[in-house]
Structure 1
Amino acid sequence: MKKKQNKIIFVGLLPPIITGQSVATAAILDHLRKHTNYVKVIRLPDNLTPKSSVQKILKWWQFILVNLRFLWAAGWSSKIVYLSGARSFMGTLRNLPMIAWSRWRHQRIIMHYHCGDYTEFLSQQPNWFQKVSCWAHEQCEDIIILGSSIRQQFELNKDVAGKLRVIPYGISLSSTEKKYIESSISLLFLSNLIHTKGYWDVLKAIDILVNMWQYRNLTCDFCGSFMTNSDDPTNITSEQAKLNFDNFVEKRNLQNFVSFHGPVVDEKKKKFLKKAHVLLLPTYYNTEGQPISILEAMAHGQVVISTAFRAIPDMVHDQKTGFLLPPCNANAIAEKIKWLIDNPSQYSEMSQRALEHVKSNFSMQLHLKKIEAIFFEYESYHHNSSV
């Protein structure tokens, strides 16, 4: 395939920072590098909220450096600017100079949001900030969001609503077949262990199954890093959260049923995805968008137990490919796991439907095809208008 000639400035969160956003952004970047002659990358710092004065100063300095690198890279000849959308006060201000420069130079701006609560965030900000944010969105030609169910979060006005492009995440598919529950069931929590991701609800559900209902043929693997977040009601450090987790497991005699493995990537992650029957992610995380771990699990034939939150209903069809439960309800999680154990044939049917659903709607090939169409429609338009 002949490579496109557009010069692209690519601003996004990338590995080694490991989040669903960084993994998805890296896949887009790799694809663009294969299909265009010039992609200049500007890496964004992590999305963690600074707490101390020193951390805030460091964050502002990082933002200044990002903009200086952008101005150096964008220059005068760039045609397209890809920019990860910000759902924070500081992140929005970080993006403004890049948007202003790109608009002044008549460069096509593609904004990509990976969150699902933008209007909720904006409603808590000062009036002047809301107006500035609307202006920034109006300067973009395209605004990519993750799902139809969160579209209303980004319809700031009629002009912005017309720019929205719904493109869900995509994942590489394997030749996995549907799964069967035989002598035991393997459960998986695959996400950073943030309180509002629901890991405590999962842990309590395991306690109910093992110690109250005497279900002993099960294991649950927790894979991720303990992290804090601005919406964490416990207000404790990640170290204390890990200690509380370990103490609960020991106190409730769950050592033979619960294992913590830390963050997992590549082949190690694939091992857990292949092993597990059910993914547990009862999230109500404030910036949740479309958890990639759900798609990865479904692509491996897992039934998903999650919540009807943000863009998750676009991925998980309740009662068909998984279960969508109210948040903070360990008993409901335990009941659904029990039902799957007691109904293995229905489990296998749901596993098959999960596989079919993700293959039809969330393949990496389909995702990148939609992304590519947005990036390179500029070249087609520019070529046709020059004829």
Structure 2
Amino acid sequence: MATVINDQLHADLPTVQFQHIVSHVEGSKFEKLLFVVRALWAFFTTSQVDAVHIHVASAASFYRKSLFVWAARLRGKPAFLHVHGSNFNSFYTGSAAPLRAYIRWVFAQCARTLVLSETWRQFFTQHIVQNRVEVLHNGVHVDRFEECRTPMVDTSHFLFLGRLGVRKGVYDLLEAIDQLVNQHQQRHLRFLLAGDGELAEVQALIDAKQLQEQVQVLGWIDSQGKMELLKQVSTMVLPSHNENLPMAILEAMAAGKVIISTTVGGIPDLVKSGTNGFLITPGDVPALSSSILQVSSNPTLAARIGACNIACVSNSFNLRTINEQLAQLYQAAIAEAAGTVR
């Protein structure tokens, strides 16, 4: 979510001027509550507001951000709820009936609900709000990843980029690597695991399976470190159990990498299995192993898929185009609120 917000704030949109109000801070419950109150005060004391764009996840994030939907309603301004949470479906279905009713009411007050994929649009229109649900994909600055498009990268090198834990499927990946290395003797394979999370647990499992030569845990990396890693690999592996529309996959596609991932969230909007990557069912370790082996043994296929991914992102997920779509949505909602559009 932070990447999307930052890109939005720095968008080159002559007709739009953003004022960013942060509503969350780490700390005690009292500190968090005080911060929300201050954010609401900042909103009500901001003189010129035409529309309110609210980025939201699930659980506590939703309830906190719903206060700003109320605030926008009180000021008579159109609100956009932009949903990023990868588990919003389970959050909604797992809530008690009164809370589900409140969730539906909040979204019904919004001028637009923005979701990241067609899969999520279908969920929201079926369960939460029938109208004014728009797909606004995450996007990337495609040209920034040109330096990562190294055509001669060894197809035996793979990158996992995300929080190390169950949700992102890192333990499934380690099981697949174990099969490939210790059962099928694919000892030439190399995997870089970049991200925060359960670093000690992951390293302990690597040691137990004697995969130290094949797998390196790098921990959290910054933007420049990410670019350097993308230069070294042919493939991004993200076998997630739960996702929305991962920026890591979009960025790897812009860098011309093969994608191995799963059929969850908005990922099928990005990756068509066999065309620009490989999609498996979450938790299907044999299929994950097979996909890794297929890429590592077929440099021609990897090169073709990489070129396809660059074209796909350039055509459909270019951030400039997506920002223009967002500006048009703002204009339409503002016009509707002013009663100039029927």
TM-score normalised by length of structure 1: 0.79
Could you list the per-position Cα deviations for residues 7-64 of structure 1 after superposition, in whole angstroms to 9, with x for gaps in the alignment?
A: xxxxxxxxxxxxxx11111111222787545614224347xxxxxxxx8xx3464145
Secondary structure of 1:214's aligned partner: coil
Q: How far apart, CA to CA, are the structure 2 residues paired with 1:93 and 1:177?
A: 40
Letter in 2 for 1:323: F
1:247/1:95 CA distance change after superposition, 3 Å: closer
Q: How far apart, CA to CA, are the structure 1 residues paired with 2:103 and 2:120?
A: 18
Residue of 171, 174, 177 corresponding to 1:203: 174
1:344/1:141 CA distance change after superposition, 3 Å: same
Q: How far apart, CA to CA, are the structure 2 residues paired with 1:63 and 1:170?
A: 32
1:322/1:35 CA distance change after superposition, 3 Å: same
Secondary structure of 1:154's aligned partner: helix
Q: Specify the alignment match of 2:208 in structure 1.
A: 251
Q: Specify the alignment match of 1:194 in structure 2.
A: 165
Unpaired stretches in structure 2, ≥5 consecutive residues: none
Give 1:178 deviation, angstroms: 6.3
User: Is 1:169 equivalent to 2:123 in the alignment?
Assistant: no
1:39/1:69 CA distance change after superposition, 3 Å: same
1:64/1:123 CA distance change after superposition, 3 Å: farther
Q: How far apart, CA to CA, are the structure 1 residues paired with 2:321 and 2:248?
A: 18
Letter in 2 for 1:187: F
1:92/1:384 CA distance change after superposition, 3 Å: closer
Residue of 229, 233, 252 corresponding to 1:272: 229
Identity, % of aligned pairs?
Answer: 22
Q: Specify the alignment match of 1:322 in structure 2.
A: 277
User: Is 1:154 equivalent to 2:132 in the alignment?
Assistant: no
Q: How far apart, CA to CA, are the structure 2 residues paired with 1:183 and 1:385?
A: 58
Pairing 1:31-110 to 2, within 5 Å after superposition: 31=11, 36-37=16-17, 39-45=19-25, 58-59=28-29, 61-75=31-45, 77-88=48-59, 90-110=60-80
User: Is 1:29 equivalent to 2:13 in the alignment?
Assistant: no
Give 1:218 deviation, angstroms: 2.2
Letter in 2 for 1:296: E
Q: How far apart, CA to CA, are the structure 2 residues paired with 1:192 and 1:79?
A: 37
Secondary structure of 1:267's aligned partner: helix
Give 1:123 deviation, angstroms: 1.9
Could you list the per-position Cα deviations for residues 123-166 of structure 1 after superposition, in whole angstroms to 9, with x for gaps in the alignment?
A: 211221111111111110011100112212212568x3221110
Q: How far apart, CA to CA, are the structure 2 residues paired with 1:268 and 1:169?
A: 21
Unpaired stretches in structure 1, ≥5 consecutive residues: 1-20, 47-54, 227-237
1:180/1:36 CA distance change after superposition, 3 Å: closer
Query: What is the alpha-carbon root mean square deviation over aligned residues?
Result: 2.6
8 Å CA contact 2:253, 2:259 repeated in 1: yes
Letter in 2 for 1:254: L
8 Å CA contact 1:281, 1:307 repeated in 2: yes
Could you list the per-position Cα deviations for residues 282-305 of structure 1 after superposition, in whole angstroms to 9, with x for gaps in the alignment?
A: 1013xx211110011111111111
Letter in 2 for 1:265: D
Q: How many residues align?
A: 338
Residue of 143, 157, 164 corresponding to 2:113: 143
Secondary structure of 2:105's aligned partner: helix
Could you list the per-position Cα deviations for residues 182-214 of structure 1 after superposition, in whole angstroms to 9, with x for gaps in the alignment?
A: 765210000011212110111222222222212
Letter in 2 for 1:80: A
Give 1:323 deviation, angstroms: 0.7
Q: How far apart, CA to CA, are the structure 1 residues paired with 2:14 and 2:161?
A: 30
Deviates more, 1:95-104 or 1:374-383: 374-383
Secondary structure of 2:71's aligned partner: helix
Q: How far apart, CA to CA, are the structure 2 residues paired with 1:140 and 1:183?
A: 49
Secondary structure of 1:376's aligned partner: helix
Secondary structure of 1:305's aligned partner: strand
Q: How far apart, CA to CA, are the structure 1 residues paired with 2:126 and 2:41?
A: 28
Give 1:306 deviation, angstroms: 0.6
Letter in 2 for 1:115: G
User: Is 1:349 equivalent to 2:319 in the alignment?
Assistant: no
Q: How far apart, CA to CA, are the structure 1 residues paired with 2:34 and 2:126?
A: 28
8 Å CA contact 1:196, 1:284 repeated in 2: yes
Q: Specify the alignment match of 1:261 in structure 2.
A: 218
1:32/1:69 CA distance change after superposition, 3 Å: farther
Secondary structure of 1:73's aligned partner: helix
Q: How far apart, CA to CA, are the structure 2 residues paired with 1:127 and 1:253?
A: 49
Secondary structure of 1:309's aligned partner: coil
8 Å CA contact 1:96, 1:136 repeated in 2: yes
Q: Specify the alignment match of 2:83 in structure 1.
A: 113
Q: How far apart, CA to CA, are the structure 2 residues paired with 1:264 and 1:105?
A: 41
1:379/1:187 CA distance change after superposition, 3 Å: same
TM-score normalised by length of structure 2: 0.89
Q: How far apart, CA to CA, are the structure 2 residues paired with 1:219 and 1:136?
A: 47
1:42/1:196 CA distance change after superposition, 3 Å: closer
Q: Specify the alignment match of 1:291 in structure 2.
A: 246
Q: How far apart, CA to CA, are the structure 2 residues paired with 1:164 and 1:248?
A: 43
Q: Specify the alignment match of 1:125 in structure 2.
A: 95
8 Å CA contact 1:169, 1:292 repeated in 2: yes
Letter in 1 for 2:83: Y
1:123/1:213 CA distance change after superposition, 3 Å: same
